[in-house]
Amino acid sequence: QQQVKQSPQSLIVQKGGISIINCAYENTAFDYFPWYQQFPGKGPALLIAIRPDVSEKKEGRFTISFNKSAKQFSLHIMDSQPGDSATYFCAATPVTNSGGSNYKLTFGKGTLLTVNP
Amino acid sequence: DTGVSQNPRHKITKRGQNVTFRCDPISEHNRLYWYRQTLGQGPEFLTYFQNEAQLEKSRLLSDRFSAERPKGSFSTLEIQRTEQGDSAMYLCASRPGQGQLEQYFGPGTRLTVT
């Protein structure tokens, strides 16, 4: 059972465009949602994260939108640059009602983003 | 460099051999995680340490896998009698502590079993 579903699997955008990656989750106990960026041969790097008490969080060119009722969240990359070309992963974990989950992350399968110059 | 470090970065081994990986977390991070990532997939949780105590193990962690964190600092992950299906990137992540949620990943160890 895939608890976090990520789409699209791959995405190509032009420089300066907006990249949008979507994730949906099933476990209603999830209440911490980070996004990670991974370059080939490197470990995932934390980009931005959100808790359900807000519907949107923005850090620079990166914005998370969160829809609790739909159990969906998305990453928007504004003014996409070739240097943003990487694989992006959404993740989730229960915090408030962790039930001993130890905050282990459940990841989506990733989105390979290519930004053309 | 104060990030999470992992060694070796790459390991090629023959089926049936034992391998051991090391993770050095960010200083003063007392929570440590191991994940496994196969090609085209997101990382999957393997095990979790709080200080030196191993508090959770995934069902993915067969009896051939063992992890330790003596003294609550660095951690090791050992795989005995490696199989081709063990080929993957093994990632370590650390977190500061109670109430602090951000996990920071190391560069990973790429294991290839031939």
Say yes or no to pLDDT of B23 above 60: yes
The residues, ordered by sequence, that sit 6+ positions from B107 with a Cβ below 8 Å of its Cβ are: A41, A42, A43, B4, B5, B6, B9
Calculate mean pLDDT across residues B73-102. 94
**C-alpha distance across the termini of chain A, in Å:** 38
- Is the Cβ–Cβ distance between B30 and B99 less than 8 Å? no
Q: What is the structure's pLDDT at B36?
A: 97
Confidence of residue B28 (pLDDT cuts 50, 70, 90): confident
pLDDT tens digits, A94-114: 887 666 668 999 999 999 999
The neighbouring-strand residues paired with B111 are B11, B88
What was the pLDDT predicted at A1?
59
| Pairwise CA distance, residues A108 & A91, whole Å | 6
| pLDDT at position A96 | 79
The C-alpha of A100 sits at a distance from chain B's nearest C-alpha, in angstroms, of 9
How many helical (H) and strand (E) elements, i.e. helices and strands, does chain A have? 0, 11
pLDDT above 70 coverage of chain A, percent: 94
For residue B61, the 8-state DSSP code is S
CB contact under 8 A, B101 and A95: yes
In terms of Cβ atoms closer than 10 Å to its own Cβ (0-12, 13-18, 19+), residue B40 is exposed
Amino acid type, A82: P
pLDDT band at B86 (very low <50, low <70, confident <90, very high): very high
B44 at A interface, C-beta within 8 A:
yes
Residue A76: beta bridge partners? Answer: A20, A63
Nearest to A73 by CA among A53, A94, A98, A90: A90
Residue A65 pLDDT: 96
Q: Look at A43 and B108 and tell me if their CB atoms are within 8 Å.
A: yes
User: At CB < 8 Å, which residues of chain A contact B?
Assistant: 4, 6, 32, 34, 36, 41-46, 49, 89, 91, 93, 95, 100, 102-110
B106: Cα within 13 Å, side-chain hemisphere: 30
Give residue B61's pLDDT.
Answer: 86
CA distances from A102 to A15, A35, A96 (A): 39, 18, 11
Task: Round the average pLDDT of chain A to a whole number and report it.
Answer: 94
- Shortest Cα distance from B76 to chain A (angstroms)? 17
Q: Strand A86-94 relative to strand B31-37: parallel, antiparallel, unpaired? A: unpaired
Decide if pLDDT at A90 tops 60.
yes
CB < 8 Å from A in window 59-88 of B: none
Q: How do residues A18-64 score in pLDDT, each as one tens digit?
A: 999 999 999 998 989 999 999 998 999 999 999 988 999 999 999 99
Query: pLDDT by residue (tens digit) across B37-63?
Result: 999 899 999 999 999 999 999 998 889
Using a CB–CB cutoff of 8 Å, tell me whether B41 touches chain A: yes
Q: What are phi and psi of B39, to 5 degrees?
A: -60, 125
B48–chain A Cβ distance below 8 A for any pair: yes
Q: What is the pLDDT of residue B72?
A: 86
Mind telling me how many Å the CA of A26 is from chain B's nearest CA?
Answer: 17
